[in-house]
Chains A and B, each alone.
Chain A
Amino acid sequence: AQSVTQPDIHITVSEGASLELRCNYSYGATPYLFWYVQSPGQGLQLLLKYFSGDTLVQGIKGFEAEFKRSQSSFNLRKPSVHWSDAAEYFCAVGAPGGATNKLIFGTGTLLAVQP
């Protein structure tokens, strides 16, 4: 069965510092991979996605993520965090060719940004 693990429940970084949010998945093959961001009381916004090809994918708001097959990971990075990046971040996986196009979400990482 597919599963997604986000080991860090809560991360605090200083504004301007770099950021890496971890995501590990369990799936028999290479899944589709996503990162979403949720601001308080809001829905989810798609940051970036990986389907195939180049393992380093660029997203919106200066985020990028790298797919590492050997580590079953899809970590999200940003070189310099802004105060507006404070939010909850969810990693998700989908099964290629699946009939339902479901996503399995991780438990989320809450990012706090210190001035």
Chain B
Amino acid sequence: GAVVSQHPSWVICKSGTSVKIECRSLDFQATTMFWYRQFPKQSLMLMATSNEGSKATYEQGVEKDKFLINHASLTLSTLTVTSAHPEDSSFYICSAGGGGGRNIQYFGAGTRLSVL
């Protein structure tokens, strides 16, 4: 149980284009989903917290117009990197809250974004 699917696993795009990453909880309902960014050999940086049916809460310094998050259902959240530039190249990981108020998060396998 507690499987989170993230798609695509790797995407290459041209500078200026937008890229959408999907995060799905396959066997449980996730009221809260989280989006992280990870630079090489570094820890996870929380970008935003999304709750189903409401606007995402972005961490300080994260551009909400650049990183659009939608959490339309209890099993799906999407991150859209708009007008991507090479500096947006990174590893993006989503997680889904397991519920129960105990902060358990189940992670997707991550998406490697390369912007040319």
- Give residues in A with beta carbon < 8 Å to B: 32, 34, 36, 41-46, 49, 51, 90, 94-98, 100-103, 105-108, 110
Interface residues in B, total, Cβ within 8 A: 26
Could you mark each residue 17-30 of chain B with 1 if its beta carbon is under 8 Å from any beta carbon of chain A, else 0? 00000000000000
- Return chain B residues, CB-CB under 8 Å to A45: 107
CA A22 – CA B43 in complex, angstroms? Answer: 16
Q: Of B95, B103, B104, B105, which is in contact with the most chain A CB atoms at under 10 Å from its CB?
A: B103
Q: Of A94, A97, A103, which is in contact with the most chain B CB atoms at under 10 Å from its CB?
A: A103
- Return chain A residues, CB-CB under 8 Å to B57: 100
- Return chain A residues, CB-CB under 8 Å to B91: 41
- Return chain A residues, CB-CB under 8 Å to B42: 107-108
* 10 further A-B pairs in the complex, CB-CB below 8 A; given A34-B103, A43-B95, A101-B103: A41-B112, A43-B110, A44-B107, A46-B105, A49-B102, A97-B101, A101-B101, A102-B46, A103-B103, A107-B42
How many A-B residue pairs have C-beta atoms within 8 angstroms? Tell me.
64
Partner among B6, B43, B97 whose Cβ is within 8 Å of the Cβ of A101: B97
Given A41-B112, A43-B108, A43-B109, check contact A102 B44 (CB 8 Å): no
Closest 8 A-B residue pairs measured CB to CB? A94-B103, A43-B107, A44-B107, A43-B109, A107-B43, A101-B103, A43-B110, A32-B103
Chain B's closest residue to A90 (CB) is: B43
- Return chain B residues, CB-CB under 8 Å to A108: 42-43
Partner among B4, B102, B107 whose Cβ is within 8 Å of the Cβ of A94: B102
Q: Does the CB pair A105–B49 fall under 8 Å?
A: no
Interface residues in B32-60 by Cβ distance below 8 A to A read 32, 34, 41-44, 46, 49, 57
- Return chain B residues, CB-CB under 8 Å to A32: 102-103
Chain B's closest residue to A98 (CB) is: B103
- Return chain A residues, CB-CB under 8 Å to B112: 41
Chain A's closest residue to B94 (CB) is: A43
Q: What's the minimum C-beta distance from B54 to chain A, rounded to whole angstroms? A: 12
Could you mark each residue 82-116 of chain B with 1 if its beta carbon is under 8 Å from any beta carbon of chain A, else 0? 00000000010101010001111111111010000
